[in-house]
Structure formats: structure tokens, C-alpha cells
Chains A and B, each alone.
Chain A
Amino acid sequence: MAIVLHSNIRSEAVSQRERCESACDPANYREFVFRCALAICGEPEGAEDIAQDVLLLLLRAKRKLAQVDSPSAWVRKVTVRSATRYLRRKRHSDPIPEGLQAIELSPERLAVFETLRKLEPEQRALLGMALNQGLSYREIAEALDIPEGTVASRLNAAKKAFQRKWDL
């Protein structure tokens, strides 16, 4: 009886360790980080660069990743921060990224991309997370470090800003 109990506890500990190792392995977040970055910046090249930066950071902060309660929420937060920083460095006049050719850039899509470029980085992050990734207000609030109640109003403002810039 005692042997069975001991074996169960041991297997539980092993599976827990395996889960933790899987959650803490930066390579497992490649797709997650790239999708999140792409939703925010809207260009494949930029998303690749952001993903590369974030994965390097995760590699360095492996211990921290193991300590946080929700690794994926933490990784999303890091990605969003990195993506908004990337967008702040970009200029409206920069040429259209070549990577966008992969999605058959129709005039409407081009207009959307140009309109997104005119928005603030945080607004782009909000739109990307809400409309592309389908995240809840709580998840967006965590990622942007803002109160949950603020997300709705800022998201609404971002949508209005998008429509206003679109009309121009």
C-alpha cells in the first residue's frame, strides 16, 4: 500500500516537473509569441524580430518564467511590451513591408494597414488582442497592465480612432 502511494506521489511529481519544464521552455512559445506580435504590429518581418527578441529574453529569464503563476500570461505581457516598443520606433513613412505580399495585398487590406499605422501603439495592441486574438478584457488588462474597467473604454476609443483615420 505504502509502495503504491509512494509511487503515485513520485509519478505526480515527475509529471508536474515535466509540465513545468514544458511551460518554461522558450521554444514552446515560438508560435504563441509570433502570433501575438503579428496581431499587434501587423507585419510579418516585425513580428519575427519581436519574436526573436522575446524568445531570447525568455531564454535569459528561464528562472523567472518558472516562478510566475501563469507563464503564458507573462510571455504575452513581455511580447506586448516588446511589440509596442517596436511600433514606437516605426515611422508612418516607412515602406510597406515585403512580408505583407504573402497575404495578397488588396487595396482594402492596404488601406487597413495604412490606417493601423496611424494609430497609437497601445491602440494597435488593443485592437490586435481583442479582434484578432479574441482575448478577454481580463487578459488584455493583464497584458497591458491597466485596470480591467479601462480596457473597454480604451478599446472603444481605439475602434473610433481607427474609423476616424480610415475616413481621412
Chain B
Amino acid sequence: MKQEPSLDHLAEFYAALDTIPTPPIRAKRQTFLGALSFALAPIAAALLASGFILFCTLGPADSGSASGVQIPMDHFAIEEMKSTAPEVTAGTHTERLAPLGRHA
């Protein structure tokens, strides 16, 4: 059966590939990003570790609530606060509500 010219070229290309010798087993080639991430990984790990130690030493940032944990309020609770106490702004309702225990 006569092959189309392009398939003849394809067969010739495959035959040429067969002449390439099998290389020995070696480490995988690294891309630039791969090498960079490999180099930066220990630094990132050290930063994370020091950050964690700092966090454990100093504790979480003061969020204004007694427990130190800031719980976001839902929209209706904010609206309710605004209607009863118009001076309350978006930045203050957590501090106001947290002691009242209404953040659940």
C-alpha cells in the first residue's frame, strides 16, 4: 500500500528517533521555577517556623474581644445595633457586642 507523503516523513522521523541512544538514569531536569522553589523552600520554612514561634510566644493579635478571638457579625446584627445605637460604626460593633455575648 502506498503511503501518503507526510506519513512517509513521519515514519522516517520515527526511524531517526530510534537512533538516539538510551541515556543513563539521572536526576530529573529542573526548570527555573523548580530550582528557585527548591532554593527558597528552606527560607520559607524558616520564616514559617519563626512566625509560628512568635505567634505562640506573643499570642494572637488583640482583636478587642475578651477572648481574643474576633468573630464576624452577621448583617442583621449590625443593622440591629445601628438602629438602637446610631453612633456605632462598622469598626466598633465587635468591641461593643463581644462583651454582651451576642456574637454567636
Contacts and interface: CB of A to CB of B under 8 A. Distances in A.
Bind each other:
yes
| A interface bracket (residues with beta carbon within 8 Å of B) | 35 or more
A141 B40 CA distance: 44
B7 interface: yes
Q: Is the interface of A mostly helix, strand, loop or mixed?
A: helix
Contacts of A112: 6, 9-10, 12-13
B16 A44 contact: no
A163 B4 CA distance: 8
Interface of B: 4, 6-7, 9-14, 16-20, 22-23, 25-29
Given A44-B23, A132-B18, 17 more contacts: A30-B22, A34-B23, A38-B17, A48-B23, A49-B29, A52-B27, A103-B17, A104-B16, A109-B12, A109-B13, A109-B16, A112-B6, A112-B13, A113-B13, A116-B13, A127-B10, A166-B6
Interface of A: 27, 30-31, 34-35, 38-39, 42, 44-45, 48-49, 51-53, 55, 99, 102-104, 108-109, 111-113, 115-116, 127-128, 131-132, 159, 162-163, 166-167
